[in-house]
Amino acid sequence: MLTLPQLQRFAHESGIRNLQVVEKEILLTYLLQLLAEKGFLKEVAFKGGTCIRKTWFGARGRFSTDLDFTCVTAGKRADDFVMQLAECMSEPFHDIQFDLGLGDDGWYETGDGVSWGCEPHYKHSRGEGTIKLQASNREVATLMTDDRAQLEVSYFKWLRFKPSAIPCLRIERNSCRENSRRLSARQTARHLGPRSIRRSAHARSPDQKTRRDQALAGKRCFCAR
C-alpha cells in the first residue's frame, strides 16, 4: 500500500481533499490488479462508473468507489464466482489483506438470479474498510470484451506493479465517447435544435443543406442554438 505522504501528494494533485476517497481509489486499483493476476477478470466484463473513470476519463472522471461487472461465462453459478473470489483473496497482496468474509451476510444473490454481489473487506497497516462489488447476469455480451488499459494517473509511479488492462463491455464505447465529448465541452455550450439550423441555413453549402433536410426529415437533427 502507498505511504501516507504519497496519498497526500496524490490528493493534492487530483484536487480530492478527502483522504478516505483517495485511499479507496488506490485500493480499487490494487483489487483490480489482484483479480487480473488471479484470472477472475477472464470471466467477467468491467462496466459502470469506476470502469468509465479508470479506462476513459482518468482523474477528471467522477470518483466512483464500486466495482461493477457483467458475467460472461455461461452457466456459472453465483456461488461458484464467490468461492473463486474467496480463493483469490486467500493471501495478502502487496501488504494488503483482502477478505470476502464469507458467512450469512458475506454475499447475496437476487431472488430472480439477475445479479449477485459482495463487499470485500480490506486491511492494511493504517486502517481497514470495505469495497462494494456487484456482478450482473442481466446483460448478454454478444461481442468479445474490449481489453482497455487503465489510464495512467500520477500515483502509478509508486506502485510495485503495472496496472493490467481490463476486459470491458464493448457496449460502453459509444456512450463513453459521447460523455467524454460533453465533459470536455464548454459550459456555455447549448443543446442542439432545428430552429437554429433554419436561422443559419444561408451560411451552409448545398451539400450541408441536403444533409440538414435529410436529418430534419428523420427527426435526428442536432445543432447549436
In the chain, CATH 3.30.460 sits at: 4-184
Could you say which residues of the chain have pLDDT below 70? 58-62, 101-105, 139-143, 171-225
Please tell me the distance from the alpha carbon of residue 46 to that of residue 69, in angstroms, as a whole number: 5
So what's the pLDDT on residue 18?
A: 85
Q: Express each pLDDT in 25-58 by its tens digit.
A: 999 999 999 999 999 999 899 998 899 889 887 6
Whether residue 26 contacts residue 3, with contact meaning beta carbons closer than 8 Å, is answered with: no
So what's the pLDDT on residue 112?
A: 78
Three-class secondary structure assignment of the chain: CCCHHHHHHHHHHHCCCCHHHHHHHHHHHHHHHHHHHCCHHHCEEEEHHHHHHHHHHHHHCCCCCEEEEEECCCCCCHHHHHHHHHHHCCCCECCEEEECCCCCCCEEECCCCCEEEECCEEEECCEEEECEEEEECCCCCCCCCEEECCCCCHHHHHCCCCCCCEEECHHHHHHHHHHHHHHHCCCCCCCECHHHHHHCHHHCCHHHHHHHHHHHHCCCCCCEC
What is the assigned CATH class of domain 4-184?
alpha beta
So what's the pLDDT on residue 105?
A: 62
So what's the pLDDT on residue 103?
A: 55
Please tell me the distance from the alpha carbon of residue 50 to that of residue 32, in angstroms, as a whole number: 11
Q: Supply the Cα-derived Rg of the chain in whole angstroms.
A: 22
So what's the pLDDT on residue 33?
A: 96
So what's the pLDDT on residue 143?
A: 63
